Every structure is written in C-alpha cells, then in structure tokens.
C-alpha cells in the first residue's frame, strides 16, 4: 500500500468511567458490549496496518482480555473477554499504538482500495470526504448507520447491508456513483447516478436529512419524494448497478503490477491471539507490507507474490481457511459453550464436526448458522440451517433467523447427530442438477423434520 490515512485524532476520552454500549449500537473502543464471555470491544481500522501492529493488538488481547480475537462479517477486529477496568486499560493502550482508527460514522470500502488494478475507482477519497462531513453530525445519526463506497475490484462489499451505498460506474470514461438506499447492492432501493464531484455533497445532504428524521432513522426511511436534492441524480442506464458474482478468491492472487494479495479467513470468525501473532510474525519475516481485516471474517495481506505464497503455507498450518471450497467457510458459529455462559451447546465443536463429516450437505450452497442461544451473535441474517440453543432443546430453523419458528426442536447435545442425518438425506435425495440447498428446499420442512425424527 502506498498511502495510509493519518491516524484519527484520539477523542477527548478520559478513559473513565467506561461507557457501556447502548442497545442497538455497535461496540466501539470507548463503548464495549457485554457478552457471555465478558466485555467485547471493537477496533475499527480505516486503513491497513503493518504486521507488527497486529502483533501488538494480539499482545493487548492476551494482557487485557481472554486472548480471543474476532474478525466480524463486516471486517472489524474485536477483542473479547474484558472487564470494566481492563476495557479502560485496553482503550488507552490501543490509542497509544500508531493505528489508523476509524471513529464516528462507519464508512466502509474494500480492504484493497487504491491498490487493486481491477477496481473501477479508488473509493477512499470519497469515503474520507464523507467521514469528515459526518463528524459535524456526531451524535445525531443512528449508531448502526453505515455507508459503503464500492469502488469495484477483487473484494466487493455488495452483500453487506448499507444505509447509503455508492457504487462506482464509468460512463464514457467519466466516473459516476450509483446511489442505493438500504439493503444490499441487490436488494436496496436504486435511485440513480451522481457525478463524482457531487457525490460527497449529496451524501452530506442525505445524512443531514437522516439527522433531522431522528437518531433512529436509517437509509430505508428516506423518502426520495421529500428530498429535492435527489432530483440531481441521473437516470440509471442498464449497465449501472450490475451486481457481479462475488469473486474474492481465497489464497494468493495478483492485484497490480508487482503486488499480490493473500486472502484467508478465520474459522467461525475467531482466532486465539497466539495464532494471529504467529501469522503476524511469519508475515513480517516474509516481507508482507500490509494487512487488514476484511468482510466475511477474513484477513487480506499484501506484498510481493513470494511473500504471500510463503505466508499461505503457514496460514494453513495455523488453521486459517485458505482455499475455496473449505466447508468451514460456510459455517457461522458464535463462541457458544464453553466460552459464553449463554451458550447451550458447543457451537465450535459442532461446526468442526459439520466441516469434516457433512461434506455432501456443505457443498457451497448452504449457510449453516450455529448459535448457542437466540441472540444470534454470529449471523444476524437468514441462514439455510440455523441451530439455536435454548433451555428447552436446540431449535432447528430452515431458511430463517434464530428468532423464526423452528421446524424441529432437538434433544440437547444431538446437534451433530442431526447434521449426520441431514448429510445422509441430501446424499440420498439430491438430484444430479441440484445443490444441497435446492434439494432441502424441494423436500421442504416437513420431510426434513420427518427424517430427523426417524434418524434416517
């Protein structure tokens, strides 16, 4: 990477008393969230960091927390297992590091922004302008409000929910941004194209409008009919707003002349600090320049091709997901038992069983969500199969969230047996042209529940 935005100024926090997270907000350095394994704090980065800085964060995780770090589905780093005092100490120690911390409005772009030869436009100038303008509205916007600036390239953010999304599009060599409100790139409301030099003004006006609507207003609440500024949008040509299939390849790939990237992921979005620190050490020795947490619980490292290849070999040994088709990448699992006291079954153990013994079921079409309780920390959205721990047993939800009606409630601690039954069911019933998800959808909830009851 050639440029790293300046480290954001430390807010005027006195580091005490600790501000605990308000309901409906996201954890932050100065506002940790209570979880079943203590307080959890988020270290949101605006730019890539060097391997040495990741090492330092791992040290701090062991010193102040329980030595477990997360990379979230949106690509944020989290440190777990803190108490009230250690969270204050951690915040102070993190702010002492030379990190490009992102404060305020969550404005997100590709971890390869500005370096990816296949991107349509570098999203950072627009993203940084939006962050600067949003500072004037601090405290007036919904805590979970997010803006995605999609410049294109190998790692896209199309699948992430965003209140305001700007998608780069070139029309006859001129850069425009497609504006979408709410949802993902596929499901949001597509409004039109804005010229590059007008995009920051337009987003500022949208943010001001949201502030006027109140601190709970989200992108979906904006009514374009009541916002004259949206008149300046150009109509959307057929070529704009195309949502390409996700490409983000695991492993090593070239991003530009002389620069490669290594894309790996943390199983279940979580890793012991010791393993992450080992990866940092190997990366520094190999000549990796930068690394950054990335969407879908991943890490992206950049450097010379050989450095990326060297680290890849170690990453596999350290337990990272490093190749496409690894069933672990299809599983979202919260810490569950024994890490979280709300957990009612061993989510990670169940996930490892599924990855090794349910390979027919996990054919790439399934999202398996293993949730220790109904809170659904690991995957707030819909999954193909969701196992939800409860005192009454483990609920199995088909094509839903943890809060949806289960098709069956399993006897506690029979989750792996149920996965074996589902794997066998798909093996027997799947037609040649079907994916596992197609097969389950065709069979339907009643047939699935019947198979589980009979144990066949």
Q: Which residues bind ligand SF4 (CB under 6 A)?
A: 35-36, 334-336, 340, 342-343, 371-373, 375-377
Looking at the Cβ atoms of 151 and 343, the one nearer to ligand SF4 is: 343
Residue 22 Cβ vs ligand SF4, minimum distance, rounded to whole Å:
18
Per DSSP, helices labelled H in 232-384 are 273-286, 305-317, 336-339, 347-357
Residue 334 Cβ vs ligand SF4, minimum distance, rounded to whole Å:
3
- The answer to whether residues 453 and 445 touch, using CB atoms and an 8 Å cutoff, is no
Looking at the Cβ atoms of 130 and 334, the one nearer to ligand SF4 is: 334
Residue 67 Cβ vs ligand SF4, minimum distance, rounded to whole Å:
16
Looking at the Cβ atoms of 302 and 371, the one nearer to ligand SF4 is: 371
Residue 300 Cβ vs ligand SF4, minimum distance, rounded to whole Å:
26
Looking at the Cβ atoms of 24 and 455, the one nearer to ligand SF4 is: 24
Per the rule left: phi > 0, alpha: psi between -120 and 50, beta: everything else, 13 is: beta
| Interior/surface letters 179-207, b for 16+ CB within 10 angstroms, e for the rest | bbbbbbbeebebbbbbbbeebbebbbbbb
**CA-to-CA distance for 281 and 95, rounded, in angstroms?**
22
Looking at the Cβ atoms of 87 and 126, the one nearer to ligand SF4 is: 87
Cβ-closest residue to ligand SF4? 372
**For helices 436-454 and 415-429, what crossing angle results, to 10°?**
120
Residue 373 Cβ vs ligand SF4, minimum distance, rounded to whole Å:
3
**CA-to-CA distance for 429 and 342, rounded, in angstroms?**
36
**CA-to-CA distance for 375 and 344, rounded, in angstroms?**
12
Please state whether the peptide bond connecting residue 219 to the residue before it is cis, i.e. omega within 30 degrees of 0. no
Residue 340 Cβ vs ligand SF4, minimum distance, rounded to whole Å:
3
**CA-to-CA distance for 321 and 333, rounded, in angstroms?**
15
């Amino acid at each position: 990477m050639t440029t790293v935005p300046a480290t954001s100024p430390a807010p005027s926090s006195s580091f005490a008393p600790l501000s605990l997270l308000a309901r409906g907000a996201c954890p932050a350095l100065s506002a940790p969230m209570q979880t079943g394994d203590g307080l959890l704090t988020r270290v949101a980065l605006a730019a890539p960091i060097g391997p040495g800085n990741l090492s330092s964060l791992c040290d701090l995780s062991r010193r102040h927390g329980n030595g477990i770090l997360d990379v979230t589905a949106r690509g944020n780093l989290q440190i777990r297992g803190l108490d009230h005092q250690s969270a204050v100490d951690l915040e102070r120690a993190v702010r002492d590091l030379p990190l490009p911390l992102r404060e305020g409005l969550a404005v997100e772009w590709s971890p390869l922004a500005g370096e990816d030869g296949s991107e349509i436009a570098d999203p950072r100038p627009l993203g940084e302008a939006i962050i600067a303008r949003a500072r004037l509205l601090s405290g007036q916007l919904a805590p979970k409000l997010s803006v995605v600036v999609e410049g294109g390239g190998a790692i896209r953010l199309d699948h992430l929910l965003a209140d305001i999304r700007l998608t780069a599009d070139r029309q006859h060599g001129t850069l425009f941004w497609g504006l979408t409100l709410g949802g993902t790139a596929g499901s949001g409301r597509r409004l039109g194209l804005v010229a590059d030099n007008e995009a920051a003004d337009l987003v500022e006006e949208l943010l001001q409008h949201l502030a006027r609507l109140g601190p709970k207003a989200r992108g979906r609440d904006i009514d374009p009919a009541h916002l004259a500024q949206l008149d300046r949008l150009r109509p959307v040509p057929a070529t704009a707003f195309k949502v390409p299939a996700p490409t983000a390849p695991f492993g090593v790939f070239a991003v530009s002349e002389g620069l490669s990237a290594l894309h790996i992921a943390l199983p279940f979005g979580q890793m012991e600090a010791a393993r992450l620190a080992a990866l940092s050490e190997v990366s520094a020795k190999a000549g990796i320049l930068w690394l950054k947490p990335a969407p879908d619980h991943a890490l992206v490292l950049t450097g010379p091709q050989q450095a990326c290849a060297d680290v890849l070999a170690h990453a596999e040994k350290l337990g990272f997901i490093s190749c496409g088709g690894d069933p672990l990448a299809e599983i979202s699992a919260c810490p569950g038992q024994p890490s979280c006291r709300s957990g009612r079954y061993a989510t990670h153990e169940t996930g490892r069983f599924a990855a090794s013994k349910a390979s027919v079921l996990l054919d790439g079409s399934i999202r398996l969500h293993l949730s220790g309780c109904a809170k659904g920390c690991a995957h707030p959205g819909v999954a193909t199969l969701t196992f939800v721990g409860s005192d009454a047993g483990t609920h199995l939800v088909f094509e839903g969230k943890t809060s949806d009606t289960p098709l069956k409630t399993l006897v506690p601690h029979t989750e792996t047996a149920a996965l074996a039954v589902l794997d066998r069911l798909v093996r027997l019933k799947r037609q040649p042209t079907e994916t596992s998800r197609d097969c389950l959808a065709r069979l339907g909830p009643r047939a699935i529940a019947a198979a589980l009851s009979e144990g066949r």
